[in-house]
A and B are shown apart, each in its own frame.
Chain A
Amino acid sequence: DTEVTQTPKHLVMGMTNKKSLKCEQHMGHRAMYWYKQKAKKPPELMFVYSYEKLSINESVPSRFSPECPNSSLLNLHLHALQPEDSALYLCASSLLPFLSSGNTIYFGEGSWLTVV
């Protein structure tokens, strides 16, 4: 099973709302990732969790707050977002944190976020 599950599939939120995106994998992977993708652009890395610890934050604004409660779950808490934050948010996982030889990254279906 090479599945990364994301919920919700679609989310519309106001700029004063607080919401969360959730991601789950049961492949025993020890690295999990959040990517952001705008229309007609490639995915951009936001955060990397390695063995449940935040290892990379690509200078993401604090209105995005990641959380890794355990090795299977990854959350992205959203607060006071701006309309320009509307995008597809992709979760991914890999067996090991470093994408070295033989270590494939798997993506979820994504969560489409619209900020109004």
Chain B
Amino acid sequence: GIQVEQSPPDLILQEGANSTLRCNFSDSVNNLQWFHQNPWGQLINLFYIPSGTKQNGRLSATTVATERYSLLYISSSQTTDSGVYFCAVFTGANSKLTFGKGITLSVRP
């Protein structure tokens, strides 16, 4: 099946710093989503982005489908950005979403 790798596994930032989170996938996809899981467990949709670039406030994402990677940019980080960021992809074979292992982000005040 498809492999999804996220990097770095852990990231510690000072409040106000910028960061880039990466997601590599091993096969072509027709659905890619970024999620933020907060400390209470809720998985929050950030972006649906199988290709192209999207922006939402301080967050933006770019997926280069031909090169099989996606990037999530966080600018001017805040302590509320802390949590785990998951990239998840779907290849169309069934309803199974394949998650990466996640990136744990800690933003220090």
Binding site for B on A (CB under 8 A): 2, 31, 33, 37, 41-43, 45, 48, 50, 55-56, 88, 90, 94, 97-110, 112
- Are A104 and B95 in touch, CB under 8 angstroms? no
The 28 sampled A-B contact pairs (Cβ below 8 Å) are A2-B45, A33-B95, A42-B100, A43-B43, A43-B86, A45-B96, A45-B97, A50-B95, A56-B96, A94-B95, A98-B94, A99-B31, A99-B95, A100-B90, A101-B30, A101-B50, A104-B45, A104-B48, A107-B44, A107-B45, A108-B42, A109-B40, A109-B41, A109-B42, A110-B41, A110-B42, A110-B43, A112-B41
Q: What is the number of contacts between chain A and chain B, taking CB atoms within 8 Å?
A: 66
Interface string of B19-36 (1 = CB under 8 A from A): 000000000001101010
* Residue from B31, B43, B96 in contact with A90 in the complex, judged by beta carbons closer than 8 Å: B43
Known: A42-B86, A43-B43. A55 touches B95 (CB 8 A): yes
Q: State in angstroms the CA–CA spacing of A97 and B31 once bound together.
A: 13
Indicate if B68 sits at the interface (CB-CB under 8 A). no
Interface 0/1 of B77-100, CB less than 8 Å to A:
000000000101010101111011
B95 is contacted by which of A2, A97, A101 (Cβ under 8 Å)?
A97
Closest residue of chain A to B50 (Cβ to Cβ) is A101
Which residues of chain A are within 8 angstroms of B95 by Cβ–Cβ distance?
31, 33, 48, 50, 55-56, 94, 97-99
A100 pairs with B45, CB closer than 8 A? no
Q: How many residues of B contact A (CB 8 A)?
A: 24
Report A-chain residues with C-beta under 8 Å of the C-beta of B100. 42
CB distance from B6 to the nearest CB of A (A): 9
Bound CA span A8–B30, Å: 34
Q: Are B92 and A42 in contact (CB under 8 A)?
A: no
Q: How far is the CA of A26 from the CA of B90 in the complex (A)?
A: 24
Whether the Cβ atoms of A42 and B99 lie closer than 8 Å is: yes
| Residues on B with beta carbons closer than 8 Å to the beta carbon of A41 | 101
Of the residues A99, A101, A108, A110, contact of B97 by C-beta under 8 Å:
A99
A110 to chain B, nearest CB (A): 4
Known contacts: A100-B31, A107-B42, A109-B42. The answer to whether A43 contacts B92 by CB under 8 A is no
